[in-house]
Structures are given as C-alpha cells and as structure tokens.
Chain A
Amino acid sequence: MKIGVFVCHCGSNIAGTVDTAKVAEAARQMPEVAFATDTMYACSEPGQAGVVQAVKEHGLDGVVVASCTPRMHELTFRRTLERAGLNRYMFEMANIREHVSWIGKDMQANTRKATDLVGIAVEKLRRDKPLTAKKFDICKRVMVIGGGVAGIQAALDMAEGGLEVVLVERSATIGGKMAKLDKTFPTVDCSSCILGPKMVDVSQHPNITLYAYSEVESVSGFVGNFDVKVRRKARYVNWEACTGCGLCMEKCPSKKAKDDFNEQIGTTTAINIPSPQAIPKKAKIDPEFCRQFTKGKCGVCAKICPSGAIEYDQQDEVVGEKVGAIIAATGFDLFDYTRYGEYGGGRYPDVITSIQYERMLSASGPTGGHIKRPSDSKEPKSIVFVQCVGSRDKSIGRPYCSGFCCMYTAKQAILTKDHIPDSQSYVFYMDIRAPGKNYDEFTRRGMEEYGTQYIRGRVSMIYPQGDKYIVRGADTLLGTQVEVEADLVVLAVGAESSKGSPELAEKLRISYDAYGFFMESHPKLKPVETNTAGVYLAGSCQGPKDIPSSVGQGSAAAAKVLSLFSRSQLESDPQVSMVDIKRCIGCGKCIATCPFGAIEAIDFRGQPKAQVIETVCQGCGICTATCPQGAIQLQHFTDNQILAEVNALCQQALEVNFE
C-alpha cells in the first residue's frame, strides 16, 4: 500500500499547540507511508486540491488526514478521495484538534499524542478495504399508521405530492381525539368544522387507501421495501354495500351498547356508526351487545338494511401491503384517572374526565350540547376543574407535563360560561403552562373576561355532600386550605402513550421511552425521524402535543418521505456486517442479539448459516462482538482493524505482514 498523510494546521487551531511538521516527519517513518506533509487548511479548496494532487502524483491508494473530528469532515474528505479516483473508504482521520490541540497547551505532549493518533489511523488504514454502496429499488408507496389529525395531515400532504398512501386506523372512524372535541383553543374554532373537510378529503382522495377498524399485524423488510400485514377486524357489515344511511341504528333493539366515541357518556346501539361525521360513514356491529350474537336470534338490521350489507358470519381478514416508508402517528390515550382514589373518579358519577366533558359540550354529542350532570341530568352551576391528573406526578410514574391540559381547561371554563351564564368555574392548578401563540392571552381572558377562578394548589380529596361534592385542596398562594362546593368536577386527565405502543414500536423496530412514547432520532435536529431508516413519527405518539404541533409534524414527516422518494433508488451504507460463510457454524447468536432483525438464518448446502440483509443492517457491530468465531465482521470496523489500532497503541509485537 502507498499511504499519504496530511497533517492540518487548521490555522493556529492545531499548529498553535501541535508541531505539525514534526508529526508529518514521524508519519514518514510509519509502515507503508509513501507521502506525508503538513497543510494549512486540509478541508479548504486548495487543501483538498493538494490531497488530490498528491494521490495522483505519488500513486497513493490510501489517505490519512490528521485534522478535526471525523464527525465534522469525514464526509468532506471521502468525497475528496472519490474525486482523486480512490475508494472513499480508503480513508482514515486522526482527530488532533478536538482531542488534542484544543484540550491542552503542552506542545511536546500534544505532538506525541498527535503522532500516536496518526499512527493508529495508519495501522487501521493498512487493513481497510474498498467498500461500495449498493443501490436498491424502492416502492414509492407509504403507510400511515393512525388516522388522527397528524396522520391525516401527513397522508394528505403525501397524496398531494403524488404518492400512494395507505392509511390504517384502529377505530371505526378517522379523526382521532380531535374529532371528539367541541372547540379548539385558543381560537375557539369548532373542531369538526376544521377537521371535517380534511377527513372528507382523505376519503375522497384517489391516492389514499383507507383501512379503518384495522391494525398493523406485522412489519418485515426495510426502507424502500416494507411488507406490512394489516388485520381488518370483522365489522359484520359489508362496507362495500353499506351507504351509512343509519336505518339499522333506528331499528336496532339493543340500545345499551358501549359508546366509545362519546367516552361512555351515553350509550349507543349494537349496530352503530360512531358519529354523524364519521369517515368512513359505515355501520359496524358490536358482537358483545348484538342479540344475534348473544342470543342467537334477532336479525332486525339484516331485514331492514336496504342494501343487504349485514354479514353476521364476517371474519377478520389480513391484507398485505408493500410500502417504502411508514409514518407512525398513533397518538395518545388518557391516563386512567381512577388510580387517584382521593378524587373519587369512577365512583362518583359527577366526577368526569375532560374528554367526557368535551363530548357534553359538543352539539353532536349525547347530550346535544347541553351540560348535564350524569347523576341527575341537572344543569351544574358550580364546576371545578382539577389539573394535572396523571401529569407531573412522580408518585404514579408520570413525571412529565402533558402540555395541553392547561389550555383545554381554560377553553372548557370559557365554554362553560357561554353555555351556562350564571355558572362559576374553579380551576385547581400547579402552574399554568401556556407557551403557544396567543395561548397565554387566552388563559388571561378566561380569568379576566369569564371570571374563571384559578386556585394554585393540589386537590387532596373530593367527597359527596348531599347532591353536591366538596373539593378540598390547598391554596398555596394564600397558604390556606380551601373547600369548594361543586355540582360537577372535571378532571384534566393527562396524556399517556396510546395502548399497544410498545408492541407497535417493536414491530416497527423503533425505540420507545419508559412511558411508551416513540423515540425520535434526535430530540432537536431529527424530531420526526427514527433510528430505523424509512420509519417516521408524527404527532403525540412521540410525546404529548397540541393540534398545531401535530399538524406541523404530520407535514414534516410527509416532507421527509417525499424527499426520500425523490430518488429512484436508495444507497445502502456499505459499513455493514458480513458473514464469512466458511467460519459460520449457524449457532444464531448474532441473529438473537441483532436489534434490527437484519440477520437471517439460511440453509447453505444443508447447514444453517447466518446471512446479513445489507439494507436492514445499521452497522452497530453487536453481532461481531457476539460471534465467538469471528465469522460475522462489521466492515470498516473489523476485529483486525480494531486490533491493529490496539496493537499500535500497546506496542505489542505487531503482526508480520506476509502480503
């Protein structure tokens, strides 16, 4: 090999505390170094030109640049090498700026250290091999998991961008949590008025395939080529035929079915359409309440249905979809408020959750937009809102702030005054968090114009007294205990990751945090990417978010997919593991430890062997450290390459090179 070494001055950044000429001189004595020089700015245009020229002049086939961190300029110099006609992986970098010149002023010690670092770079380079990225074709379809506002926004943006989109929604209608809201803060817009048209667009867009009442069963493959199995749960109604006319709901004799859309504030029929604005507007049967299923005879809906859509014997069906990218937008669920025994949630009928209250406020809700106490249907005059129920509380394992409860409570208190002008709302809060655009002004308006009374303190208990409730808490500003008489108590329930998030994360091979929220690739710079190529995040599945943030992330994830698909082929990083099939004994330890499912067992002439799926491998090297016979080697970080560095530093008898 002929190696060229370039020691960068970086102006005085390096040359100030490292004798670069001396390092270059020492480098000339190193094995297989044919050329060494110091240079003013290696990364500058003349600096790079000097590298290219030296490669051509001296017939170099490998280059070491001793300068700043490879995290900064490795890519720069790899491109330089390509321009010089070399393989980009025949390059090593010695970090003599961040790791040497900037952290000490001792010229002698720094020069020695820089020389050693150049030495290990040379030893590694001697064992480097040219690597070539593979190109592979991609399927330009995308799946969005979750049809809340984030998923809807992502799906629409990508469909508009010409991509085929498959939208999978777990419940019977898209719209997510936003569809259940009456109004949105801080504009007090009608929620379904602004979301409804988007939902309709989804159902009508020629590029969007919608699977409602369906779940992702399994995901295999890799970026550009995922195979996803989607389970379409049995609805007992042929959705091709159903027109959503609602005749079946009028005639269904079983009227006590659970109404999930209305958060169990009311009941619905066993055959039902979740809401008048549902998309798709199709009926489904709840077998738990349908008499045909529970008693074996009824059949009223089948008789009444004008399009003959009822199919009592319908089964789940699994469909396969091939996509090139996946956006997870599975949203959030609400904390189980019954864990706070002192609030009596679940025991007292008039202690309800904020989302239940939202359904009450909604004109299309079970009470027709009238606020009524669940216990006696009376109109409440004194309403107490309790903040942070399942947020910012370490004792129940929810230390994080849910972010939007302060705002929706302010909104609900304002709406309460609109609905019942002679009412009084009280809010027990810890801190008011209103950092969005026009948010703080909104909460101030609630206090100043609508007379919402804010009490800074936690509630210690709620107990019934007559037909009212006594809410006892502290007022930390006054330093006293307060008791407020309430007709209705609304708990501002915190957000938690949606049910089944960890399982989905494992199917998608993405990380999730201790609370089940999906982990982004970088908290600041890659907020919608994950560490699995081709899988993106949008909305509250990554952490609690309000509507504008969710919409923004939906669009951001869509942009990421659109830019990914702007190429006809993708390149896979060649720094992946490779199996030496002769050495492999097929024990499967690498397969078991790979976090990405990138290694598969194959049958090779009757023997089990491991094989790396190059496009799935992320290049971590866990397998290489696991394999006892060194059969699977991470390219560019092989055992021999790392051992060469160790030996160079520890000055053992170096191996003799017989080549």
Chain B
Amino acid sequence: MPASAGSELRIVGFLCNWCSYGGADTAGVGRFTQPTDLRIIRVPCSGRIDPLFVVKALMGGADGVLVSGCHPRDCHYSQGNFYARRRLEVLKRFLPTLGIDPKRFEYTWVSASEGQRWQSVVTKFTEQIHALGPAPNQCRSAQAPQEAERSAG
C-alpha cells in the first residue's frame, strides 16, 4: 500500500464492534469532522485485543495506537472490557521502559451513541500524536534489507 503522504501520521485504531465502532459510525452519520490519520481495525470486543497487537503495531512503525471499547458494565459480552482494561493498563505502563512514549498509546470507552465523544477522542488523540511527531523507527536494522522493500500493494 502507498505510504501515507503529506503530513499524516500512522495511527491504528482497534475498536470493538458493539460500542466504539458504532460510535465511530454515529460520528460519521452526524458528519462530525475528524482528522484523517486514523485507520480502524474492527474486533468483536476489546477483550479480543491481545496487548501484543498494540506492541506489534508500535514496533512495526505505527506512530500511535488507539483502543476503544464499551464502557465498563456495558460490554456486549459482559466482561470483555474488564479484562481489556487490566491488560491494556499494564501495557501502557510497560511502554516507557522500552523507550516508547506511553502517550503513543491510549485506550478509552466510547458507546455506540457517543458520536460527539468519538469525534473529540479522535481529534484529541491525533493532536497528541502530532505533538509527539513520527515515532522513531523501532525496528529498522541495518542487516534486514527486506524491511526496506515493502511488499507490493
């Protein structure tokens, strides 16, 4: 795929299908203008998100990762976001030791009805990432030529 040109940064979102993905839809239906950097990956539940997905994205060159799920007690699967909250919080606090700015990763709760809240979450997070600038490439190593050549597409 073409690398994002211009001033955009690479921001990956993991959104649970039931609340936040719906919230992002609601924001769209309401035509709530947002920055264009974010790319959303849909998952059934925030509890499906292995913190290692976030690590993988950050190591792979994402400038920011945003996770959003249902508000506590509102999980479609009753407990997914409770597990997610613990795992993601531990991850967030772990990042600084690796030299990754913890502000590059946030997790939050947005319900399907909170279009405006989604707009402000995306705007705020995108601004936060732009303030940090592009992530220092975690994993470009001199003797890994295949890293340089991106696969077709």
A interface vs B, CB < 8 Å?
A: 26, 29-31, 69-72, 95, 97-100, 102-106, 108-110, 112-113, 115-117, 119-120, 122, 510-511, 513-514, 519, 531, 575, 593, 595-596, 618-622, 624-626, 634, 637, 639, 642-643, 645-654
Contacts and interface: CB of A to CB of B under 8 A. Distances in A.
A612 B56 CA distance: 28
A379 B24 CA distance: 64
Contacts, number: 171
Nearest to A105: B33
B79 A116 contact: no
Contacts of A117: 39-40
Contacts of A618: 77
Nearest to A509: B78
A650 B62 contact: yes
Interface in B4-37: 4-6, 8, 10, 12, 17, 21-22, 24-25, 27-29, 31-36
B29 to A, nearest CB: 6
A651 B57 CA distance: 9
B121 interface: no
B1 interface: yes
Contacts of B50: 624-625, 639
A651 B17 CA distance: 24
B60 A71 contact: no
A625 B33 CA distance: 33
Given A104-B33, A120-B39, A642-B53, A112 B28 contact: no
A26 B5 CA distance: 15
A95 B124 CA distance: 22
A621 B2 contact: no
Given A99-B24, A115-B2, A646-B56, A109 B146 contact: no
Interface centre among A72, A108, A634, A645 (most CB of B within 10 A): A645
Contact of A30 (B12, B146, B153): B153
B57 A103 contact: no
Contact of B62 (A103, A122, A513, A649): A649
Interface of B: 1-6, 8, 10, 12, 17, 21-22, 24-25, 27-29, 31-36, 39-45, 47-50, 53, 56-57, 60-62, 73, 76-80, 83, 87, 119, 139, 144, 146-147, 149-153
Nearest to B146: A653
A651 B144 CA distance: 14
A31 B152 contact: yes
Interface centre among B10, B35, B39, B62 (most CB of A within 10 A): B39
Sorted nearest first, the 6 A-B pairs with minimum C-beta distance are A98-B28, A621-B48, A650-B60, A620-B77, A622-B47, A654-B151
Contacts of B49: 625
B117 to A, nearest CB: 14
B48 A625 contact: yes
Contacts of B1: 26, 30, 115-116, 119, 648, 651
B147 A637 contact: no
Nearest to A27: B153
Nearest to A505: B78
B48 A513 contact: no
Contact of A103 (B5, B33, B45): B33
A1 to B, nearest CB: 14
A164 B8 CA distance: 62
Given A112-B5, A595-B80, A650 B47 contact: no
